[in-house]
Amino acid sequence: MNALHSFFCTLAKSSEEPTVFRKWIPFLHVYERIKHVELYHVIEEQLFTTYSQPIIDLKTNNIYGYEFLLRPVDHGPSFRPYELFQMAERAGMQAHLDARARIASIQNSASSVPLGVKRFINFVPSSIYDPNHCLATTFKAAADAGVDPKDLVFEVVETEEINDIKHLKSIFKAYQEQGMKVALDDLGAGHATLSLLKELQPDYVKIDREIVSLCDEDHAKQHMIRQIVDIAKEMGAIVLAEGIERKEEVQIVLQCGVQLAQGYYFGRPVPTEKLNTTSN
């Protein structure tokens, strides 16, 4: 009841602001915000933080970078990240949430991750209708936080179906023109395919966990990993294997030529602010 009251107070406050042209919210968007009012306030009041999972250089066993993941704040409303983004899309708030999540990752990394260590940050292509305009706040956040653009890697979220290759290329270009890197996630399963890899030419390629899991027991999976590595090598991209949970999987992906790895075998996600106390 308090959350619903707060929601209508927010609408009332915004309606009191003087403006020549009022921006009307579609009924279905309002309906979703009322139906999921707790999630609405998670987005509007930024009741989320970031957790970070280590990415390991398989040749040196050193931490190469971290992937930044959206999580609820302590003592705040609980949510699953994919459900939050699904609600945001239905409520017309996806671009708003996506931008805030990127900025939070950049800002949180500034005080917890050393210079030279990569920060892998997800983004939703469909939320960026104009790269130069929509990413301006992201670029400003990096500059204000003192984060080296070369340390930032932006990756397409694994749940996003890629329908407009030309648009995604323009987003990649906007990031790369700022000195940042881009990654294609979920390769080998889901929406990312080998033909898409050749078309987009990303800086990093992340092999899907379904291909990596039990790859030591499956020759077809090993063949797929080698295929990805060979194509990536031709274009100068770095390959990362996701979802590693066993030593045997580490040995196979290393034999196949994979440079980086991520998964519970190396470390679970922890609150970003605790990286200074948990890093080796």
Domains belonging to the chain, first-starting first, are: 26-279 (3.20.20.450)
SS3 (DSSP) at 120: strand
Distance CA 50, CA 20 (A): 38
Query: Is residue 233 within 8 Å of residue 182, measured between CB atoms?
Result: no
pLDDT of residue 165: 86
Beta-carbon-side half-sphere exposure of residue 179 (alpha carbons within 13 Å): 9
3-state helix, strand, coil in the chain (%, to 5): 50, 20, 30
Q: The tokens of 29 are what?
A: 């968007």
pLDDT of residue 129: 87
Query: Is residue 221 within 8 Å of residue 215, measured between CB atoms?
Result: yes
Q: What is the mean pLDDT of each run of 10 residues along the chain (280 residues)?
A: 50 44 81 96 97 98 97 95 95 95 97 96 91 93 97 82 83 96 82 79 95 97 95 96 97 98 98 75
pLDDT of residue 157: 75
Distance CA 53, CA 55 (A): 7
Distance CA 221, CA 214 (A): 9
Q: What is the dihedral of CA 158, 146, 103, 141, to 10 degrees?
A: -120
Note the pLDDT tens digit of each residue in 48-60: 999 999 999 999 9
- Cα–Cα nearest to 112, from 77, 71, 63, 154: 63
pLDDT of residue 189: 62
Q: Which residue type is seen at 208? A: D
In sign, the C-alpha dihedral spanning 198, 204, 210, 214 is positive
pLDDT of residue 60: 97
pLDDT of residue 145: 97
Which residues neighbour 84 within 8 Å (Cβ) at sequence distance 6 or greater? 39, 42, 43, 48, 70, 97
pTM for the model? 0.88
User: pLDDT averaged over the chain?
Assistant: 89
Distance CA 24, CA 6 (A): 19
End-to-end CA distance of the chain: 46
Number of helices followed by number of strands (H, E) in the chain = 13, 9
CA-to-CA separations, 24 to 11, 88, 90, 186, 220, in angstroms, rounded: 11, 17, 16, 37, 53
Q: Which residue type is seen at 129? A: Y
Residues counted in the chain: 280
